[in-house]
Structure 1
Amino acid sequence: MYMQKYPCVYMRGGTSKAVIFHEKDLPEDKSLWDNIFLKVMGTPDVKQIDGMGGTVSSTSKIAIVSPSDREDVDVNYTFKQVDIIIPRVDGSANCGNISSAIGPFAIDEGLVEAVEPITVVRVLNTNTNKIIEEHVRVKDKRAMVHGDEVIKGVPGTGSRIDMYFEQPGGAVTGKLFPTGNKKDIFDVPDFGSIEVTVIDCSNPIVFIRARDLKIKGTELVELNNNKEVMEYIERIRCIAAEKCGFVDKWEQARTMSTSVPKVSIVSIPQDYEDMDGNNIKASEMDLCCRAVSVGKLHKAYPMTVAVGTGAAAKIPGTIVNEIACLSKNYSKDIIVLGHSSGTTEVDMKMNGEEVLKGGVTRTARRIMDGYVYVRD
């Protein structure tokens, strides 16, 4: 038996990592892609020992990039979330962190002309048909790597990338509030009723109050060991998937809609110790939040979820707005989220309850390039 090899680049984007392919280097028959991506990541296997995957959702990702023929877009970008335990590749949503790697990739690969000191790259995410504008620092015709920007969840510093998710509302379902409500009551089998907010802004998200789960909201990876609470969260997520129309019956979402909707657990600003042992103060944030992605606590906070959280915080009637407004009045644009790895600022531009754009800052860098080999 022989192995196939495919040119690729391995990059960190924000707090995630992905194997990035030029679309032209993959088979024209896209039905073959998922099988290739599973083998690239080493799925299914909890260790992903025979592939590039890093055993958590944030490091089991694929991106495919190609030039765009649209005048207002430079490159097209398709995101794929590869599951770890089950052989599933999900292309139903976008990843905001990996999005931040697309601008630098496009510049370094010659898909976009490098302009100093800042190159603006307009990226069409094909999963959501939404545009992301990326402002990338450039030097000597290459995307800069070194800089003094710090993002929580990544050691050291890097070159600042300013990202703007344009018109992010209804990214997957076509509606900012897919259920038609700003708050819903879910009847969760074996657990009872719970109030949630479901929003689709950059990605579909279901928001749950920490207190309704009978947790503090400052938990870190120990939350993964609380099987009862994690099962409760998963059932809520699955019901939200049914409400969004991703599955016919909520039980199907465990295998058919594993990466959307995302889950955010929200609480009032609190003191806590983050993943790196830093003391985070309640006074440093507007909202305390934890994300759950593909059944595990996210070790930082997904950027698409950050944009959705910022939007929900700005819209009266959501549980996020109610919790955030316990401490501050949301007339300002910048909202600071306290998450597992520290704090992240989100710059929300609104027109009433219409979300015009959400801005975040990331760093990214190329880790390696070459060929990835997969078994036939």
Structure 2
Amino acid sequence: MLPERSGSREGKVREVMRKAPEGSQDPGPDEQAPSGSGLARVSCHEDLVKALAEQFARADVSLRELQARADRAGGVRLPRATCADMLAGRRFPKKALMVAFLRACRVPEPQIPAWERTWERVRLTRMPLGQDPTTDSSTGAPPEDQRRTAGGTPPEGRGRRWTVGGAPAEDRRTVGGARPAGRGRRRAIVLAGAITVVVGVGLVLTAALRGGMSEGLPGDIVDVGHIVSDDGRAFGGGGSSRFTVTVSPANTGVRLIRRLDVGVPLQHATITVNGAPAGAWRPLLGDDLYKWRNQIVELPPHLTAGRRSLTIVNASVGSSDFNEFRYIVKHKVDDVWSIIDTIDIGPDHTADEAMHGYRIVGQGWLGTQTFAYPPRTEDWNIE
């Protein structure tokens, strides 16, 4: 891989990316929902954020469209700002909001229960020791239907804390209604700390925006939502990679979509399908600022029709290392394009590689990169 060049533009990008939630979103074309085994590996809030971001990327729609879909469906609304916070990891979602989000992303209904179980598992890991599992983990308060009676009045003892067993602990107020000594002081300290954090973040953002404008760059140098962390591999001239993917024998076309780092320019490789020449990954110009791209190659239909599986071989013929982080396979059946298979490449996805019979010859690099996609989503994909 070519070393990153230092410079004021790239320095600002890297600084924003260091401060951003790692892998906050995973832009790309629509894909199938993760399998049950994939969700089984979700064990913390960060994992859940990545899984939800993948669904958003697979849906290949805007937050505005998701909000409109939820409005048309009725029920839980999906405000764009709330979804953006959820996808950036700034807010742990309520289960109902997450389910509405998944349905708006067109996740099949039979997969929703697995997502709900995953949410419940992650929620328990976020819960402070001794907190009632029936409370709302995002606020620490009992659900609204437990806070009020059917008539809308607070239940008896609303001013009390609740233990895991649901029994009230000592009352927060005295008999006369006065607060215990020190509570107001603690609240003031917490409020002052929150204000300090908000002001500090505002100053940092203001300085970053001014710095970008001073270099003639747009204020939003990098959209946090477009930053992705992914692991991958690379091979040089004479090297190759090989894997097998599944398609429908009824297909009338197949597309390969490869995520690559265009910080390494002019990557060139030929493609064969089941041993027959099928095209090439054409060289792309480099981009040292926004390095993620999704390159698309459509395979000749006569090589894919009637096949249930395709063995793909990419052979580097250029002077630049050829890198690969993920492949998405779309097929056309009954004039409709849909995702049929996905293979994640990299040292963190060896199980996925083994499932697809992945092999690499002449490996020159492996590891994880954190880059940004271009500001405009229409620039993410290149044919």
TM-score (norm 2): 0.25
Hey, which of these two has a bigger chunk of helix by percent?
A: 2
Decide which structure has greater strand share: 1
The structure whose Rg is larger is 2
